[in-house]
Structure 1
């Protein structure tokens, strides 16, 4: 896989806006380690989006899946984003970062949050 750093393109702008918009929404409902994890996931996703702007369609597709997992994983009882949703999004982001040769963009959980869930969902193949 060849990944080059370039400025944002129209497709990357849309994904980055989705990440930023979702992060702005969850800031109203998350605090402490949950908010910190959401912010670190958003930062990693932004970097993945930009770094794959000129990559293959398959690589860009993996990043799109990770963005959608972060943005669309809303669960349970009035909370915009649950800890479980964050853990699943974290696992997806980390898997994509590894597959794209960017282990530097993996996001680890801090104290107060459970580690990413083992097994289960496999949205990126």
Structure 2
């Protein structure tokens, strides 16, 4: 994804590169619904970064914090660093989305989607 030419500034480019780099790493180890969730989170974060590029410092800081939560690992003293769960990142990203007034960007998982409406029957036509 090319981020240059958007006129968003170097801070925007850095955040988008962090998201893209982390997503590339996740693609090597995730499959199925987990990978789908990671891609949805990355898409949402990219959109938020671009949308808030010229917003208040508070809004940009909120988005930056969400990006860092998605990208950064927890600190650990061992060789293996536990990765934050995608569900935890989803909660943080969705909280930022709500605070920024962008419910159109909420990241849902399949179990959060409303159940399909039961099919209604159409009464038979009497001829």
Question: Normalised by the size of structure 1, how large is the TM-score?
Answer: 0.75
Displacement of 1:73: 3.7
Q: Which residue of 1 aligns with 2:117?
A: none
Q: Please tell me whether the aligned partners of residues 7 and 50 of structure 1 are also in contact (alpha carbons under 8 angstroms).
A: no
Greater RCO (Cα-Cα under 8 Å, separation 6 or more):
1
What is the aligned-residue RMSD (CA, Å)?
2.3
Tell me, yes or no, if the aligned pair for 1:8 and 1:53 is still in contact at 8 Å: yes
What is the alpha-carbon distance in structure 1 between the residues aligned to residue 81 and residue 106 of structure 2? 25
Shift of the 74–27 alpha-carbon distance from structure 1 to 2, 3 Å rule, reads farther
Alignment match, 2:33: 33
Unaligned runs of 5+ in 2: 1-5, 113-127
Residue 87 (structure 1) aligns with: 87
Runs of 4+ displaced beyond 4 Å? 74-82
Asked if 1:43 is matched to 2:43, the reply is yes
Matched, 1:11 2:19: no
